[in-house]
């Protein structure tokens, strides 16, 4: 009947009534078999320990931990390392695990791995649902062996956590030290380049444009004043020369000499005197350049001051002591009057002043050229200086960040060495099991009950599917698509469509509502049912 038409609730109830003996037998036999099998299976004992994860004792805002990976991933990594053959095989050999029969070491390692279980404990209090701890369990055929092996595995987890954290912290510190050394070397190179650039372009650096402009304006004023002073001194010299010429022209010959008055001898400068003047001018120009670049206490400035002073002293001595030929010539001339001598002294002083003014002009013009060159080259220098300072700032920032990270890593490493960081603490030591965890008679009995129910229902369904007998009017209609004229009860069973059945009149009325009766030559009642 099953599978030949759509079933209703009454059909399922009827099937259960017909197959109740089969289902009851399965419900009784399989639980009994499950309970009996527990006496023949080998017993297994489970030892368990609880390991809590303690956070570091120093607050995180004081010493940041260098290990920031998820605890779940670290626990999985440690589990794989501990369950490796190099760790498991010594435990197998120590406690002679799974040595019965012809079992290879590879099989023994696999069986030991399957007997180990790690169960993380999720926090229900903290907001981040962290991992406060985990259970470690080991299953063995002997209770004492299960306890000892569970303790060994727990020790491996605790030691591996300490070792891995310390190694990770030390590795991070060593890596940061190497990076810090490279960053310092790069920073020193950038610092040397910047210092060399500042020395090479002294006075042309950004921020000195205002100073250069002020110095340029001041030098222009000084040059103008020196030019005006030189013009006045040349006028004074011209006036003194005209006065000297008039006096010499009006001067009478000296009695007793018998000679006519001679024209005033021109002031003759020797080549040595002129060379000394040129040397002094060059030294003064160099002195002005060095004074603008360095402080008065700089060794180069002190040395140039000394050289200028010596050159001025030599020039003054050459001016006071004219050459011998000139002295002889003067001695041969007639004695000049006091006024003529004063004018000649004024002329000599004017010539010296004019030379000084010219040297001052040269010095000012050299300084003007230097400051003009600085102002003209300032944009290019500023661009190069900006690039250098940007590279130097980047190197300095990178070095400072690495230095701060290295300091934090050093403190974290010292924290791990002192065992003040995150640790695994054994809360409950591995227990010695009093009863075997496998086989459990209650579990086997319940499993047998469920299995018996499934098998009983499955067999009943299969039998119903294979059964093709017609049991009621709906079965007849499903197979023949013909109306039923009458039903004969079997063994006193009242068919569902029998007049004495409680639901027959209700179904009869519903059928007449759906299909109205049509009178034909045949039976009207039969045609209505059809």
- On whether residue 414 sits in a domain, the answer given is no
Same structural domain for residues 24 and 78?
A: no
Domain co-membership, 341 together with 443: no
Q: Is 279 among the domain residues?
A: yes
| pLDDT at res. 263 | 45
Integer Cα distance of 153 and 135 in angstroms = 11
The verdict on residue 171 lying in a domain is no
* DSSP H helical ranges for 418-523: 441-466, 473-480, 504-514
Tell me which residue has tokens 């021109």.
266
**Residue 365 shares a structural domain with residue 346:** yes
Tens-level pLDDT at each residue, the chain (530 residues)? 545 667 788 888 888 888 888 889 998 999 899 888 888 888 889 999 998 887 777 776 667 766 666 677 778 888 888 888 999 999 999 998 888 777 888 999 999 999 999 888 876 655 445 568 889 999 998 899 999 999 999 999 888 888 888 888 888 888 888 999 999 999 899 888 888 888 888 877 887 878 888 888 888 888 888 888 888 888 888 887 888 787 777 765 544 444 444 444 444 456 677 777 777 777 777 777 777 777 777 777 777 877 877 877 777 777 654 544 444 444 445 555 777 777 778 788 888 888 888 888 888 888 888 888 878 888 888 888 888 888 888 999 999 998 888 888 888 888 777 777 777 888 888 989 888 888 888 888 999 999 989 998 999 888 888 877 777 777 777 777 777 777 666 555 555 554 445 454 455 455 544 444 333 343 433 333 33
pLDDT at 15: 83
The 3-state secondary structure of 173-225 reads HHHHHHHHHHHHHHHHHHHHHHHHHHHHCCCCCCCCHHHHHHHHHHHHHHHHH
Whether residue 148 is found in the same domain as residue 97: yes
Q: Whole-structure pTM over 0.85, yes or no?
A: no
Q: 156 and 73: one domain?
A: yes
Element (H, E) at 155: helix 143-200
Q: Does residue 174 form part of some domain?
A: no
Hey, which residues does 119 pair with through a beta bridge?
Answer: 135
| Helical ranges in 467-494 per DSSP H | 473-480
**Quick one: which of 145, 161, 44 has its CA closest to 430?**
145
Whether the CB-CB separation of 107 and 98 falls below 8 Å is answered with yes
- In angstroms, rounded to a whole number, what is the distance separating the alpha carbons of residues 463 and 3? 11
Rounded distance between C-alpha atoms, residue 282 and residue 221, angstroms = 22
Q: Are residues 221 and 332 in the same domain?
A: yes
Confidence (pLDDT) at 304: 80
In this structure, the answer to whether residues 367 and 279 fall within a common structural domain is yes
With contact defined as beta carbons under 8 Å apart, do 513 and 529 qualify?
no
Of the candidates 365, 344, 350, 315, the residue with the CA atom closest to the CA atom of residue 230: 350
Same domain for 144 and 133? yes
Domain shared by 495 and 368, yes or no: no
Assigned domain for 452 exists: yes
Q: How far is CA 405 from each of CA 4, 55, 389, 401, rounded to the nearest angstrom? A: 78, 21, 24, 6
Q: At what angle do helices 20-37 and 441-466 cross, to 10 degrees?
A: 150
Instruction: Tell me the residue range of the domain where 108 lies.
Output: 43-58+65-166+420-428
In this structure, the answer to whether residues 52 and 115 fall within a common structural domain is yes
Query: For residue 494, what are the CA distances in angstroms to 10, 61, 131, 468, 501?
Result: 14, 86, 67, 20, 7
Tokens read off for 124: 């229900």
Query: Exposed, middle or buried: residue 366 (CB in 10 Å: 0-12, 13-18, 19+)?
Result: middle
Which element (helix H / strand E) includes 133?
Answer: strand 133-140
CATH (domain of 48): 3.30.1890.10
User: How many other CB atoms are found less than 10 A from the CB of residue 362?
Assistant: 16
Residue 400 lies in a domain: no
Q: Which helix (H) or strand (E) holds 165?
A: helix 143-200
For 443, the token pair is 């579990």
What one-character DSSP code corresponds to residue 127? T
Q: Is residue 184 part of a domain?
A: no
- Domain assignment present for residue 387? The answer is no
Same domain, 36 and 47: no
Q: How many domains does the chain have?
A: 4
- Asked if residue 281 and residue 340 are part of one domain, the reply reads yes
């Amino acid at each position: 009947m099953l599978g030949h038409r759509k079933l209703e609730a009454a059909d399922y109830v009827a099937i259960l009534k017909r197959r109740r003996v089969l289902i009851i037998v399965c419900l009784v036999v399989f639980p009994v078999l499950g309970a009996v099998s527990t006496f023949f299976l080998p017993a297994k004992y489970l030892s368990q320990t609880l390991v809590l994860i303690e956070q570091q004792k120093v607050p995180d805002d004081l010493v940041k931990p260098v290990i920031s990976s998820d605890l779940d991933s670290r626990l999985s990594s440690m589990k794989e390392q501990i369950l490796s053959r190099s760790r498991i095989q010594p435990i197998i050999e120590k406690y002679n695990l799974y040595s019965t029969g012809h079992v290879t070491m590879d099989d023994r390692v696999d069986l030991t791995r399957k007997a180990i279980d790690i169960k993380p404990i999720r926090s229900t209090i903290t907001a981040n649902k962290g991992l406060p701890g985990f259970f470690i369990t080991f299953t063995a055929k002997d209770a004492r062996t299960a306890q000892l092996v569970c303790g060994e595995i727990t020790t491996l987890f605790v030691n591996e956590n300490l070792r891995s954290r310390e190694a990770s912290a030390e590795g991070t510190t060593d890596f940061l030290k190497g990076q810090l050394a490279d960053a310092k070397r790069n920073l020193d190179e950038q610092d040397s380049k910047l210092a060399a650039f500042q020395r090479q372009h002294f006075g042309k650096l950004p921020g000195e444009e205002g100073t250069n402009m002020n110095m340029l304006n001041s030098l222009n004023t000084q040059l103008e004043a020196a030019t005006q002073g030189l013009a006045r001194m040349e006028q004074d010299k011209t006036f003194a020369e005209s006065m000297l010429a008039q006096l010499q022209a009006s001067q009478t010959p000296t009695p007793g000499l018998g000679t006519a008055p001679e024209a005033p001898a021109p002031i003759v400068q020797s080549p040595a005197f002129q060379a000394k003047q040129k040397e002094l001018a060059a030294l003064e120009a160099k002195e002005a350049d060095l004074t603008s670049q360095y402080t008065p206490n700089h060794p180069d400035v002190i040395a140039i001051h000394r050289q200028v002073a010596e050159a001025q002293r030599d020039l003054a001595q050459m001016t006071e002591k004219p050459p011998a030929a000139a002295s002889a010539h003067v001695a041969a001339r007639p004695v000049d009057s006091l006024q003529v001598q004063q004018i000649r002294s004024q002329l000599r002083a004017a010539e010296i002043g004019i030379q000084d003014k010219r040297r001052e002009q040269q010095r000012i013009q050299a300084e003007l050229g230097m400051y003009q060159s600085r102002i003209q080259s300032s944009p290019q220098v500023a661009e190069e200086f900006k690039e250098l300072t940007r590279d130097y700032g980047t190197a300095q920032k990178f070095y400072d960040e690495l230095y701060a990270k290295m300091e934090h890593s050093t403190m974290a490493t010292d924290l791990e060495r002192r065992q003040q960081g995150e640790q695994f603490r054994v809360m409950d030591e591995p227990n010695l099991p009093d009863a075997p965890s496998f086989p459990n008679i209650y579990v086997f009995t319940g499993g047998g009950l469920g299995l018996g129910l499934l098998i009983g229902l499955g067999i009943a369904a299969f039998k119903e599917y294979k059964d093709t007998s017609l049991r009621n009017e709906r079965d007849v209609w499903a197979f023949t698509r013909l109306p039923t004229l009458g039903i004969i009860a079997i063994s006193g069973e009242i068919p569902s469509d029998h007049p004495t059945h409680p639901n027959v009149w209700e179904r009869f009325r519903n059928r007449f509502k759906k299909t109205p009766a049509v009178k034909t030559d045949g039976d009207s009642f039969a045609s209505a049912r059809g």
